[in-house]
Homo-oligomer: A and B are copies of this chain.
């Protein structure tokens, strides 16, 4: 059972464990500052398939399969899987995972997908509906550019505020008792729309959603930023991260010491020409599974808030003159007390 703290904010009476996790990234991500952290680096952007969409599906399947293998499990041991991605109708997930035969809940939270999947999966485990529940997501630079912006062969100039969609996937497997990291609570985000419509400045569109979710969680748990080793956001990038800290500062919440953004960490922007940093569902998923969960396992950190942010627009909605609604979901992850 969980304890109701406020609307959408909950704490588990007994924490749900992260039994296993895996990260698989593309060539550019592998050459970034976190290159050594990831389980696998795939240098072929097609991952042996004939389309980028099929490649993204394979990234997702590979991340789940690796997480299963790392815990010496079989796919039959997994009772449910929550998955989603950025491709229209979430086909990265449905085609990637169809061969597994695992009860499947498709989710759409744009780049907040990893946190949303971890929330739902942890609840399934806590409710005893799944003995083991997986959550996975992915993104691919080439599928995202083609779908949301312009064909790569068009060679469009990228704006200074733009971010680079990561080719990456991350997967976790949750259970009642195995693993040194645990999910102890979370916050289901609500949609924030600050009337921003610039698709090349997603960090600014998402920062208010992250600020709201982090504040709601701190308020509901009567905690302060100092209670955490890190307060992690998904892919706000350099501009969005600055904005997030400013918004919270105005509400007397200073997260500057604890804040880390996966989009800022995954690339070295100047050297890799990634402008404001990484983005995409796979960005926060792979950095969580490649960097932060291993740090918890090694005992280097004990207590983090993982807040993945998503922008919920489509190409068509922007063409119709709409702004960009955004959302942020938060998962509270703590090391098992020994």
Question: In the complex the two chains form, is A320's CB within 8 Å of B54's CB?
Answer: yes
Q: Judge if A47 is at the interface, Cβ distance under 8 Å.
A: no
What number of copies of this chain does the assembly contain? 2
Give the shortest distance, in Å, between A11 (CB) and chain B (any CB). 10
* Bound Cα distance from A320 to B80, whole angstroms: 28
Q: Judge if A277 is at the interface, Cβ distance under 8 Å.
A: no
Question: In the complex the two chains form, is B89's CB within 8 Å of A108's CB?
Answer: yes
* Bound Cα distance from A316 to B90, whole angstroms: 11
Q: Judge if A45 is at the interface, Cβ distance under 8 Å.
A: no
Determine, out of A124-132, A263-271, A298-306, the stretch whose residues face the partner at the interface.
A124-132
Interface residues on A, range: 35 or more
* Bound Cα distance from A25 to B97, whole angstroms: 34
Determine, out of A60-68, A189-197, A221-229, A236-244, the stretch whose residues face the partner at the interface.
A189-197
Question: In the complex the two chains form, is B191's CB within 8 Å of A98's CB?
Answer: yes
Q: Judge if A325 is at the interface, Cβ distance under 8 Å.
A: yes
- Across-interface contacts of A314 in B (CB, < 8 A): 87-89, 91
Q: Judge if A107 is at the interface, Cβ distance under 8 Å.
A: yes
Give the shortest distance, in Å, between A15 (CB) and chain B (any CB). 14
Within 8 Å by CB of A89, from B54, B130, B193, B312, lies: B312
Give the shortest distance, in Å, between A211 (CB) and chain B (any CB). 15
Chain A stretch 268-315: residues in CB contact (< 8 A) with chain B: 312-315
- Across-interface contacts of A100 in B (CB, < 8 A): 190-191
Question: In the complex the two chains form, is A116's CB within 8 Å of B106's CB?
Answer: yes
- Across-interface contacts of A89 in B (CB, < 8 A): 86, 88, 108, 110, 312-314, 317
Chain A stretch 176-231: residues in CB contact (< 8 A) with chain B: 187-191, 193
Can you name 6 A-B pairs with beta carbons within 8 Å?
A2-B128, A10-B127, A88-B315, A89-B312, A104-B327, A106-B327
Residues of A near any B CB (own CB < 8 A): 1-4, 7-8, 10, 50-51, 53-54, 76, 79-80, 84, 86-91, 94-95, 97-98, 100-110, 116, 119-120, 123-124, 126-131, 187-191, 193, 312-317, 320, 322, 325, 327
